[in-house]
Chains A and B, each alone.
Chain A
Amino acid sequence: MALLEIRDVVKQFGDFTAVNHVSLSVEAGEFFTLLGPSGCGKTTLLRMLAGFEQPDSGEIILDGVNVAGVPPEKRPVHTVFQNYALFPHMTVAQNIAFPLKMANVPSEELKQRVAEVLEDVQLTPFAQRFPHEMSGGQRQRVAIARALVNRPRLLLLDEPLSALDAKLREEMQIELINLQKEVGITFVYVTHDQGEALALSHRIAVMNKGQVAQLDVPEVIYSHPKSRFVADFIGQCNLLDGTIVGIGHDRMQVEIAGVGIAETLLLPDAKVGQKGTLTLRPEKIKLAASLPLDVADEVHFKGKVHDCLYLGDVTMYVIELENGILVETMLPNSAPGRAKFFDDNDLVELAWRYDAGHFILS
């Protein structure tokens, strides 16, 4: 039995359906992420888990108990809020002790547990400081410590890193992963940052317009997006519209209008004539001035360089195919010396393995 089961939950605000028939389950000890653009319903879902909102229909089962109608203060669920919501009139130690006091933990045990959790988040020397005397990253750690100290069954994190700068965010990501391993508490993490979701999560539920668009492990979400939305939302992705023109026993041919035929993985229920989109990650495309033709399992196209974007570690090349379609691809800047392999309008050749991409029926 999963620790958390969300069954067919619906939440409406007036005419707006924030969460639309969502069902999912989270296992104990999992780092589970709700990922989606703003307004996709992820925060509403989180607030329903915390108890601040009640679902209009459907059930939320935590530890085998339906938590409908249980107020937030009675749920074994604690939240790390987006802007930390630390109590400004309490010291770090008092902030962290707050949930223990509310649970009437005896004072000896309380002191010990506060000390332990301060140790866990490396804030022991800051125990007597007030929140306004600390940096953003430190406040973040206090917020996490405060939510963890009473050992909730479920820890909810609402975009906890969004207020930090990029460098600090990366450090905190590593800290979060380690902390989660250490305490073994189930995390439900809400973010709109796909990089963060991919880096942190055991599983990701990509949400769009109140529904779960795809739920899987990060590798599958990234390499086999089930819909155009997921492909587009997660990372960089080339989306080439095409029509199925031939079906083999493990692969099929897709015609990309005005460009040519591309082989791709067979979809189980594909039929000739169906339209769809070929998704292709930039880093899976080979790019060179000339590439050998007729390599087994490879798709081969010609084009010319439309734009170059030097990104430091890689250079992104935007290649214009014959039909004017733009394809993004990248080359690592691994060679010393010249970082730029091509200039605008250079003629180039592209190739990718037939199983590098993924066809989505529309």
Chain B
Amino acid sequence: MAKNKSLGRWLISGPPLLYLLIFFAIPTLIMAFAAFRFPGDYGGLLPFIDINPESGKNELLIHAGNWQEFLTFENFSRFFEDTIYVELFIKSFWYAGITTLVCLCMSYPLAWLIARSPKKYRDLLILLVILPFWSNFLIRVYAWMIILGPQGYFAMTINQGLALVGIAPIQLMYSHFAVIVVLVYVHLPFMVLPLYANLEKHDVALLDAAQDLGASGWRRFWKITWPLSLPGVWAGSALVFIPALGMFAVPDLLGGTDGMMIGNLIKQQFLDSRDWPFGSVLSIMLTLAVLMMAGLGMMIGRGRQRNAL
């Protein structure tokens, strides 16, 4: 009986586990390994097995005597030698952080309103939130380029307004502003959905109880609603922060010369510079940085529990 149960459990969890192993763990390991290798002559990696010019046969070229020609720490030292990469990391974290914060501030009231609206409208409202997913991501980004572009009504109206008070016209496109606006737009649903899922489950009786026991509106929010919504806040923040951090299409299209993020650099290494090893180093560093942040977040979360009065 017990054996059957555990077999059943393996049957159910097996396929997704296998999927993760094949499509997540193995590529990550390949990438980690690639970070220690040299780039190949025409991109890719310098092969271990190739035609030996002496014998003219396909054979394993690496051996104990010459491994340094195939494996190296140079890619990592290159990352730390020039501050430009760390600076780009910090800038990307900054972009992703601002994006997350703006998404949170915009999504919280929206998710709260949807969660508190009559049950029959909730599904419709949630549908409206995810409606943008029905059109292509790039098309939506191009739409923003039209909106923010100098010939767009949005930019024209703003600049006309500025002209009235005597301020020179500003450029909205190809700026930090444009990148963050579109990053926020693209990621907003990822914040709204987990927040809504959390807020919708809140027991309204708790707010009644808090009010009955003397809590004013703001205190009810900060003492009851906000702490109880933290799992939703963390989930939404992770869902926004992590993809925003690795985003390359938006800064590519809207960032101009100054708007580059870490994602662009990684893409550049793999596609343009054909330096897979260094691209791998950048990817690994990004993964490590995100893991460290997640660990830090968990530690803070644990520290909050069960503290005294």
Contacts and interface: CB of A to CB of B under 8 A. Distances in A.
Given A71-B211, A85-B203, 8 more contacts: A52-B208, A73-B213, A85-B206, A87-B209, A102-B213, A102-B214, A111-B309, A146-B213
A88 B212 contact: no
6 contacts: A72-B208, A72-B211, A81-B208, A87-B223, A88-B206, A102-B215
Given A85-B205, A85-B206, A98-B223, A73 B216 contact: yes
Nearest to B219: A102
Interface in B31-80: none
Interface in A68-101: 71-74, 77-79, 81, 83, 85-89, 91, 93-94, 97-99
Contacts, number: 67
B126 interface: no
Contacts of B215: 73, 98, 102
Interface string B216-228: 1001000110011
A74 B211 CA distance: 9
Contacts of B219: 102
A50 interface: yes
A85 B309 contact: no
A78 B212 contact: yes
Contacts of B209: 79, 81, 85-87
A98 B213 CA distance: 7
Interface of B: 203, 205-206, 208-216, 219, 223-224, 227-228, 306, 308-309
Contacts of A81: 205, 208-209, 212
B214 A85 contact: no
A98 B216 CA distance: 12
Contacts of A102: 213-215, 219
Contacts of A89: 227-228
Contacts of B228: 88-89
B213 A150 contact: yes
A122 interface: no
Contact of B214 (A86, A94, A99): A99
A103 to B, nearest CB: 6
A221 interface: no
A274 interface: no
A162 B308 CA distance: 32
A85 B208 contact: yes
B281 to A, nearest CB: 42
Contacts of B212: 50-52, 72-73, 77-79, 81
A105 B81 CA distance: 57
Contacts of B205: 81, 83, 85
| Contact-residue size bin, chain A (C-beta under 8 Å from the other chain) | 20 to 34
Interface string A158-189: 00000000000000000000000000000000
A97 B309 contact: yes
Given A83-B205, A87-B224, A89-B228, A73 B211 contact: yes
Interface string A124-139: 0000101000000000
B215 to A, nearest CB: 5
Q: What 6 A-B pairs have minimum CB-CB distances, sorted nearest first?
A: A102-B214, A85-B209, A99-B213, A85-B205, A72-B211, A79-B212
A73 B208 contact: no
A98 B210 CA distance: 8
A81 B228 CA distance: 19
Contacts of A146: 213
Nearest to B213: A99
A323 interface: no
Contacts of A94: 309
A107 interface: yes
A102 B308 CA distance: 17
A107 B214 CA distance: 17
Given A87-B224, A98-B223, A147 B213 contact: yes
B250 to A, nearest CB: 37
A103 B214 contact: yes
Given A85-B206, A88-B228, A102-B219, A128 B306 contact: yes
Contacts of B210: 87, 98
Given A85-B205, A85-B206, A87-B224, A93 B213 contact: no
Nearest to B220: A73
A83 B212 CA distance: 15
Contacts of A265: none
A81 B213 CA distance: 11
Given A79-B209, A85-B206, A150 B309 contact: no
A110 interface: yes
A107 B213 contact: no
Contacts of A71: 211
A114 interface: yes
Contacts of A93: 308-309
A50 B223 CA distance: 21
Contacts of B309: 93-94, 97, 107, 110-111, 114
Interface string A196-209: 00000000000000
A146 B227 CA distance: 19
A222 B184 CA distance: 68
A87 B214 contact: no
Nearest to A75: B212
Contacts of A150: 213-214
A85 B215 CA distance: 14
A308 to B, nearest CB: 45
A60 to B, nearest CB: 15
B3 to A, nearest CB: 33
A231 to B, nearest CB: 35
A320 to B, nearest CB: 49
A79 B208 CA distance: 10
A252 to B, nearest CB: 51
B206 A87 contact: yes
B57 to A, nearest CB: 69
Nearest to A79: B212
Nearest to B308: A93
A185 to B, nearest CB: 15
Contacts of B214: 73-74, 99, 102-103, 150
